Amino acid sequence: MGIGTELFYDPAQVALVPMGLCYPGAGSSGDLPPRRECAPAWRAPLLKELHDLELTLVIGRYAQEYHLREGASSVTETVKKWRDSWPNIIPLPHPSPRNNIWLKRNPWFAEELLPALQQRVGAVLASTTGPND
């Protein structure tokens, strides 16, 4: 994203909103998928309270399926079509050391999407903070 830790964890600037507020438990290769009843019960009401959203990063398959219903296929194909939902929604792979192979196989991600993402995040943050903030 091109921002520091302090800004990333500033709740006045960045909202970190999981797909499920209920822990689904651990599976054989990480956490289980979000429980189906969680997002419908709380996600839409919570997002309605976040006024003036300018940018939503949809990270991973479950977020992409929720936010990009008609456009979500595989994570790779969805992320490749990032321009389709630009500039308000940007699909991203889940940030995990397990994705290093994915990153090596998809150099366009670092070459094209990441610079655009960093520029967009910078522009959004600059528009929400005034000179006296």
Please report whether residue 132 resides in a domain: no
Inform me whether the pLDDT recorded for 121 exceeds 70. Answer: yes
Residue 18 lies in a domain: yes
User: CA–CA separation, 133 vs 83, rounded Å?
Assistant: 31
Residue of 63, 65, 58 lying closest to 86 (CA atoms): 58
Flag whether 133 is in a domain. Answer: no
- What percent of the chain is predicted at pLDDT more than 90? 47
Q: Is the dihedral of CA 49, 7, 31, 74 positive or negative?
A: positive
Pick from 87, 78, 79, 84: nearest CA to 56: 87
Q: Is the pLDDT of residue 56 over 90?
A: yes
The confidence band for 105, taking pLDDT boundaries of 50, 70 and 90, is very high
Q: State whether residue 59 is helix, strand or coil.
A: strand
Residue 41: domain span: 5-127
- For residue 60, being part of any structural domain is answered with yes
Question: What's the whole-number mean pLDDT along residues 103-111?
Answer: 96
* Count of domains forming the chain: 1
